[in-house]
Amino acid sequence: MDRQTFEAELARDGYDIQTNTTPGVKVNPEHSHPFDVRAMVVQGAITITADSKATTYRPGDRWDLPRGCLHAESYGPEGAVVLVGRKH
């Protein structure tokens, strides 16, 4: 999916939109959010681990996490730019 289409979907579905840039290696240990997340990788890669399953997302890949979902995030040396929608 391309960025423009994804942003249009987020806006249509009532998500607040932001761009998160992580410049290099980073690990966010297991946590949850008090909002629904819909995200897409623009550049680089991110690995999300939820329910003991790790999935790596690359440019154009998208995912959803419901509020309260326990997950961890990890970024490799190239970091990532991720377009994130949050819905309270």
Q: What is the largest CA-CA distance in the chain?
A: 34
* Whole-structure pTM value: 0.94
DSSP annotation of 15 reads -
Which residues of the chain, if any, have pLDDT below 50?
Answer: none
pLDDT given for residue 1 in this prediction: 86
| Amino acid (one-letter) located at 69 | C
- pLDDT tens profile 45-55: 999 999 999 99
Contacts 24+ apart (CB under 8 A), 12-16: 13/38, 13/85, 13/87, 14/87, 15/85, 15/86, 15/87, 16/85, 16/86, 16/87, 16/88
**Is the distance from CB of 83 to CB of 55 less than 8 angstroms?**
no
